Amino acid sequence: MSNDIDRVKVLEELAEEVKNCTRCAISQYRTKAVFGEGDPYSKIMFIGEAPGKTEDETGRPFVGNAGKFLDTMLNAAGFSRENVYITNVIKTRPPENRDPQPDEIANCRCYLDRQIEIIDPKIIVTLGRYSMGLFLPGVTISKVHGVPYMKNGRVYMPMYHPAATLHQPGLREVAIADMLKLPKLITLLENGTVKVRKSDGSTVAENSHVTHEAETPAEKAETPAVEMKQEEPGENVAPQATEPVQEKTEHKKERTDDGTYQLSLFDF
Ligand code: URA
């Protein structure tokens, strides 16, 4: 979505829709819908799973114990809640914090898709498996956490859900280490070209200056499950400065035959 719309206003209108949404039976139990918050012009959007008790009471995402650790992760990488955007796959707390059901995820998908379209982030960080499953189906969090993927011009970075670190303290360091990759990733995306690896193992230069085009439903349907490719020693390459116009053509050509690429960054 272009910069010429008032994102704050459009998001407020959407939040109002979400507030009044009764598509799911769980809407009758909620205190407040949790739409999302942060900088609507941020380059990074974090997508969690579903509101918990404190979020339901306050109408704000990630303000309970998991949220405190998300703040720690953000701060470690020099971010704050105010300069990123944070939302969830579903906007209503499931009773007893049970897992979101497929129909609830499907019902809420249009709201998440609109948020993504309006904010148009360069990087989407998925927090936990429900969020990851929407964008990178078929992967396993223990294998792909901290590995950035390129899909239709946008980067997806899967990370552990902060709540997982509450149950498994050993994951805290891992979660912070994954978050620390984001500033460098942003710099690479803004300053040049990154090399990406297609799921068939071949590599291609991907110019991050190419403007993102919204995924069409057809493109989405055709996006194959991501295959993880292990890096071979010495295969990684540093980003190269290239001619934007030239790269734009290559980007388009390569994007159409396989929508999902794993970024291959020299020191990730
Ligand atoms: N867990 C989530 O996934 N989202 C929240 O907002 C809070 C906890």
Q: Domain-by-domain residue ranges, the chain? A: 7-193
Say yes or no to pLDDT of 218 above 80.
no
CA of 261 to the centre of ligand 1 (A): 28
- Does 263 or 220 have the greater pLDDT score? 263
Say if residues 45 and 7 touch (Cβ distance below 8 Å). Answer: no
Can you tell me which atom of ligand 1 is nearest the CA of 60? 6
Residue whose CA lies nearest to ligand 1 atom number 7: 62
Q: Residue 203: CB partners within 8 Å, gap ≥ 6?
A: 195, 196, 197, 237, 264
Report d(CA 46, CA 126) in Å as an integer. Answer: 6
User: Looking at residue 151, what is its pLDDT?
Assistant: 85
Q: Who contacts 91 (Cβ-Cβ below 8 Å, separation ≥6)?
A: 18, 21, 33, 34, 35, 36, 51, 108, 111
Between CA 243 and CA 130, with CA 228 as vertex, the angle to 5 degrees is 105
Residue 257 binned pLDDT confidence (cut-offs 50, 70, 90): very low
pTM of the model: 0.78
Does residue 162 have its Cβ closer than 6 Å to ligand 1? no
| 253 phi and psi angles, rounded to 5 deg | -60, -45
pLDDT at 188 over 90: no
Whether the Cβ atoms of residue 111 and residue 14 lie closer than 8 Å to each other = yes
- Contact by Cβ (8 Å): 80, 7: no
By residue count, the chain amounts to 268
* 266 vs 77, residue with greater confidence: 77
Residue 192's pLDDT band, with cuts at 50, 70 and 90, is low
Give me ligand 1 centre to Cα 198, in Å: 32
Asked whether the predicted pLDDT for residue 49 surpasses 60, the reply is yes
DSSP β-bridge partners for residue 86: 37, 46
> What is the 208 CA–ligand 1 centroid distance (Å)?
30
SS3 content of the chain, % helix, strand, coil (to 5): 45, 15, 40
Is 48 touching ligand 1 by the criterion CB < 6 Å? Answer: yes
Residue type, 95: P
Q: In angstroms, rounded to a whole number, what is the distance separating the alpha carbons of residues 141 and 121?
A: 22
Q: Is 66 in the pocket of ligand 1 (CB under 6 A)?
A: yes
Q: How far is the CA of 49 from the centre of ligand 1 (A)?
A: 6
- Give the atom of ligand 1 at the shortest distance from the alpha carbon of 55: 6
The H or E element containing residue 44 is strand 44-48
Percent of the chain exceeding pLDDT 70 equals: 70
Ligand 1 center–CA 33 separation, angstroms: 12
226 has a pLDDT exceeding 60: no
The yes-or-no verdict on residue 245 having pLDDT over 60 is no
pLDDT-wise least confident of 9-23, 97-111, 113-127, 140-154: 140-154
pLDDT at residue 251 greater than cutoff 90? no
Q: State the pLDDT at residue 261.
A: 53
Nearest to 211 by CA among 153, 263, 259: 153
For 154, phi then psi, to 5°, come to -120, 145
Give the mean model confidence (pLDDT) for residues 106-133: 97
Q: Is 88 in the pocket of ligand 1 (CB under 6 A)?
A: yes
Atom 3 in ligand 1: which residue has the minimum CA distance? 49
CATH of the domain spanning 7-193: 3.40.470.10
**Ligand 1 mean position, distance from CA 88 (Å):** 7
The confidence score (pLDDT) of residue 260 equals: 56
**Ligand 1 centroid to residue 66 C-alpha, Å:** 7
Q: How far is CA 147 from CA 196, 209, 229, in A?
A: 12, 20, 11
